[in-house]
Amino acid sequence: MAGFRTRFILAILCMLAGTGLRFLVPLVASGTIDYALQSGTGQSRVVDFFRRTVEQDWLAGHLWAAGLVIFGLTCGAGLFNFMKGKLAAEASDGIARKLKNRLYGHLQRLPMRFFDKAETGDLVQRCTSDVETLRMAISTQVVEVSHALILMGTAIPLMFMIDARMAAVSFALIGPLIAFGYFYIKRVRYLFQLFDEAEGKVTAVVQENLTGLRVVRAFRRQAFEIEKFSGPNQNYRDLGLRLIRLMAIYWSISDFVALSQNALVLGIGLHFISSGSLTVGTLFAFIMLLNLVLWPVRQMGRTLTELGKSTVAIGRIEEILEEAEEGGTPDHGLPTGRGHILARDVTFSHQEGQVALEKVSFEVRPGETLAILGPSGSGKSTLIHLLLRLYDYQSGSIQFDGVEMKELDRIWCREQFATVMQEPFLFSKSIIENIRLGRPSAREKEITRVAQMAHIHETIHSFPSGYKTLVGERGVTLSGGQRQRVALARALLREAPVLLLDDALSAVDTETEEIILDALRKRHGKMTTIVIAHRLSTLSHADRVIVMDQGKIVESGTHEELCRSDGLYRRLWHIQNKEEPGGMEPFTMKN
């Protein structure tokens, strides 16, 4: 609300002005009718006011002026109503924009553990549909509730001033209508929460299916995916029908009560007119005033229901905003960024009882290359995540240039690493924009240089639009090897002290891999490099190799040292080079 209070205050003032003008319309009409008919044994209070303020002879000959007054009052009320809606919409749109920005910014700073358990589709639902629900509540429901309360607060004393008997009759069924709306809201609020959650599940299924569309087509799983979608969609539809039935019940009963209230006022009013104790104009005024109040009060049941839905949306939004952000420390006492990494007895678990790393120790000096080998699930990528501080280790120590990494600012830590992940992600932009993410200020000459190092420059030039070629979502219009090489160029452009390659050349052919490795070897000593790979040819030129298995380091040494020892590295080297001891040629899968 901060920054938008002025617009809301102006909207309320416009609402008050418009309400006042709308109430004058039935009073003017009532006085004109009674003055023209001279009905009843006594004159109404409105006619008495006319007689005191307007010359009788002029009024008798200019009754048409009342129509102009009513027209002017109606136009004025319409103008104020327009300004009320405009100001409320501007304020609510501004609040929704700020809330979306806040939510999106908060998501950028949440720890990875939050995203490990969250569904992407549900998060999208909360950041879009739930915020839109809240925006509608602020711009429409809050204003309508305020409008109904102002109408009632103005109409009740005014109607009792005109005729206390008819005022009592006019509000005889308003109380039951409000009570019915209150119990209806309590009944439907929980259903709204289930409906909102069901919509989030539908969104999650659609998002996951579209992300993995190629896998679905490759394994002919369309029928399964359709069946998988039908369950949440059926639940979503059933909850929607339950809401529609409840709404239909509310509108039917509220319509009956509202029409009964009108019939009651009209019947008793006609009785009073026949007995001479009420004027025609007064009855007309009561019917108009009643409808000014009755329909907004009837609408308030639906309005409050929508507000109930918005409270569910607020709760879902607050669940995200209440999540603690990644901790950070002030930028003081930062190391020089030389790239010296020392790990001692590092232990980490994603979940309690599931150890991913256990007492892992190693050292990489500035400019050295460390290679990491191990079967899937051995903890290689987890180690990279710890270095990037996507997670924090539970025990042990990782020092960067002699300073404990937990004591360093996360953003600064990540600036020291240029990373190519196991599954490189490219944005739906041009190739040059994707590479320039490494360093936005880079010139085209520098981009070309790193593209040549990643052996992707010639490939890019073969595209019709060259570096301006747009890649599809997640880079799907490029091959796996092309995506990896673009991601490698992006990392090299960063020129960070440490280069992390998490199986970054797995989709590249052997010849291309050798060209890239040769370019990287020429940079030996300029940056610390940590390489994860399954091809031992990629690792053989590293200064040190560590072999991991089940979260532990089981071997460590240079390529030559590990080939001389009887361990996993030596067996893998023989297999990949078809030199299995005993003369048996191992079976290897060829690309």
Q: What is the pLDDT of residues 148-174, one digit of tens each?
A: 778 777 778 888 888 888 888 887 877
Span of 34-48, 258-272, 397-411, 535-549 with lowest mean pLDDT = 34-48
Give the chain's radius of gyration (CA, Å). 37
pTM score over 0.85? no
Beta carbons of 280 and 41 less than 8 angstroms apart: no
| 266-287 mean pLDDT | 82
pLDDT tens digits along 436-495: 988 888 898 999 999 998 889 999 988 888 989 888 776 777 888 888 889 999 999 988
Same domain, 284 and 420: no
Q: What is the CATH number of the domain that holds 378?
A: 3.40.50.300
Share of the chain above pLDDT 90, in %: 9
Residue 186, domain member (yes or no) = yes
Residues 310 and 369 in one domain: no
Instruction: Answer yes or no: do 500 and 546 share one domain.
Output: yes
- Does 527 reside within a domain? yes
CA neighbor of 378 nearest in space, from 503, 488, 500, 539: 503
3-state secondary structure of 355: strand
Beta strands in 465-551 (DSSP E): 498-502, 528-532, 544-549
Do 307 and 346 lie in one domain? The reply is no
Domain membership flag for residue 590 = no
Is 70 a domain residue? yes
Specify the DSSP class assigned to residue 463. S
User: Is 591 contained in some domain?
Assistant: no
Q: Which residues contact 562 (CB under 8 A, 6 or more apart)?
A: 545, 547, 555, 569, 570, 573
Q: What is the CATH number of the domain that holds 102?
A: 1.20.1560.10
- The domain boundary residue, chosen from 262, 291, 321: 321
Q: In angstroms, how far is CA 186 from the centroid of its own chain?
A: 27
Is 75 inside a domain boundary? yes
In a domain, 335, yes or no: no
Q: Is residue 375 domain-shared with residue 289, that is, in the same domain?
A: no
- Whether residue 32 is contained in a domain is answered as yes
One domain for residues 37 and 125: yes
Residue 502: give the domain boundaries.
341-576
Domain count of the chain?
A: 2
Question: Mean of the per-residue pLDDT values for the chain?
Answer: 80
At 151, give phi and psi (nearest 5°): -60, -45
- List, in sequence order, every residue forming a beta bridge with 557; answer none if it has no partner: 545
Q: Residues of 150-170 as b/e, b for ≥16 C-beta within 10 angstroms? A: bbbebbbeebeebbeebbebb
Residues 248 and 107 in one domain: yes
Judgement on whether residues 263 and 349 belong to the same structural domain of the protein: no
Average pLDDT over residues 72-98: 87
Name residue 371's beta-bridge partners.
531, 545
Beta-strand pair 354-364/341-351 = antiparallel
Neighbours of 464 (CB within 10 A): 6
Tens of pLDDT, residues 503-533: 887 777 778 888 888 888 877 778 899 998 8
519, 453: one domain: yes
Q: Do 111 and 212 fall into the same domain?
A: yes
Q: Residue 470 carries which DSSP code?
A: B
pLDDT given at position 342: 93
